[in-house]
């Protein structure tokens, strides 16, 4: 075991490998209506990410990621806050590319906010994941 950020971690284990149990614990602690909203978003993400994608806590929020070579790359994260929920495509470029699609949301370069009781549309989630995957593929090219 080695220590990172004060936490013990198995050597050679990516932080993304800590699994869906931590995601479940996070979601269980989220009050309604945000809990139901995030569970709906989680289902939408599961339908949009590649089959080999994994789910874990990353940066203190539930996230999906996948391996690219020896590197673990994050595809999307989401979280609940006091007055809104947030979606984070783990890429400011994706936010820029889909700015027109995201105009109805309050956003920053790192993500966008949506109501506690209304997840983003499935079609938008799929576009966000597709854009992130395209970006990752482009970055992986020599």
Residue with tokens 């590197």: 71
What pLDDT does 44 receive? 97
Mean pLDDT by runs of 10 across the 142 residues of the chain is: 42 52 94 98 96 92 90 94 97 95 94 97 97 90 72
Topology of domain 2-140, CATH: 3.90.1150
Q: Cis link prior to 127 (omega < 30° from 0)? A: no
* Predicted local distance difference test score (pLDDT) of residue 68: 82
**pLDDT in the model for residue 34:** 98
Cα–Cα distance for residue pair 87/48, rounded to 1 Å: 14
- Are the C-beta atoms of 87 and 41 separated by less than 8 Å? yes
């Amino acid at each position: 075991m080695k220590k990172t950020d004060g936490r013990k971690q198995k050597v050679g284990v990516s932080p993304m490998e800590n699994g869906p149990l931590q995601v479940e614990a996070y979601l269980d602690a989220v009050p309604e209506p945000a809990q139901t909203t995030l569970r709906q978003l989680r289902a939408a993400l599961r339908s949009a990410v590649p089959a080999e994608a994994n789910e874990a806590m990353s940066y203190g929020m539930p996230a999906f990621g996948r391996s690219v070579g020896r590197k673990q790359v994050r595809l999307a994260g989401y979280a609940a806050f006091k007055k809104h929920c947030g979606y984070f495509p783990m890429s400011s470029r994706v936010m820029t590319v889909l700015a027109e699609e995201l105009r109805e949301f309050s956003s920053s370069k790192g993500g966008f906010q949506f109501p506690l009781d209304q997840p983003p549309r499935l079609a938008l989630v799929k576009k966000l994941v597709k854009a992130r995957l395209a970006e990752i593929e482009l970055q992986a090219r020599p």
